[in-house]
Chains A and B, each alone.
Chain A
């Protein structure tokens, strides 16, 4: 192991073999509970929105609620050591990845990008601090959070040792890292680039009070602007069920008000204006673009597009189209489509239509406001189950 090339950020794994453990072990839940509490009280992290969100997410009650949803929990074991390659532009994502690995009964080795290291550091320090307590010695010895430069061999080293690998960071990262393959039979999770949409019932929206609209716009803001509208699960295409231009207008005006707190730098506007202009010129679908100052651009599409992902918007650039019923949406749900957030639409009906139609995309159907809440069900996969194995038994017949 090339210990000299990595910078250790937390944990004390030294390269020994890690055995699989059972799922949602008590010690892991206790550790995460302590971690959650520490993050919320420590001055280094308590005022950071992203850290607070993680702390809230990994509180015991939330994680324990997953117990019921896991099949064969009693007969499952973690694979052993999971090597996580965290993305470079969400400073806290590594911690979520770690939690999935731990709950699935694994030891976790996590490479944090040097680009976000500074922002990730406080959270790493909390993890280190809580983990160093005597009662978590076992977890400490099976965890390593580190950073290293690209191309110095550490990715190869850990890839060769691991029993499972997780690659965050989209298509580019996956293409890069596939050049360093895991050993045959080793489980692998890759999170490719995805595209997300929102489906809103126009009649329902019309009946919202002013306060409700405001509340919804805050939730929508968190789904989009909070991540520069650049997260896979942030909606870019808004599909209205039913037409009412005035209702759309009211909604976007409310969104513009709410988005006034967004830090809109000249560079972001420059990119956003460029992207929308290129989309206008390169496709034949955009009828009209409305500018809500430079806060929000809304481009009207002639119809619900077959390849929504070509309408890429960032920093508050939305594409909208109108459908009369959910069936019309189905041909748009290709493999790239991940989250469908809904407002005023029945999630069950959406799910039924997808199953009936046999659509290739649309894995996550969540209420407006929850686009970014990471769940163990992600990209159509149960992460905890995927990071563990089932030990099945077959009884001898006739005995």
Chain B
């Protein structure tokens, strides 16, 4: 089973990249997690180019389509979804009838230096994914105080990350069984 990780932060020392790497280091047997690294390369979404053959867009859609599930790991910018991540999701939502995210099991988690852990961004990302037709799993992990928590991840945090992955695996397995 393959999970695609999408990180909503581009900065080199991203806490959210550390969080997805923590997930990658604690996967169940038989599960792989590959982090997509094309966020910076996507052009701004343009409805006129829905059927684009742009290499960056096609690569993103193909990566989502090829994964059994998607783990979105994102910070919160100004109380909401980072623009670059929202841009990627907009590309991934089209063409509407064949969009790679339709029916795809997706979990949304993330981390922030503050206390709330990016909870607004995560709620809004779930809303967007729901409208796109994704199967958004009931997993919540908005990790506050990210610098301290990620510097030396404790068992509680690792357990929360594993629980999210397990939910994704359960949903993806159910989907594969029904196919």
A complexed with B:
no
Binding site for B on A (CB under 8 A): none
> Which residues in B have some Cβ–Cβ distance to A below 8 Å?
none
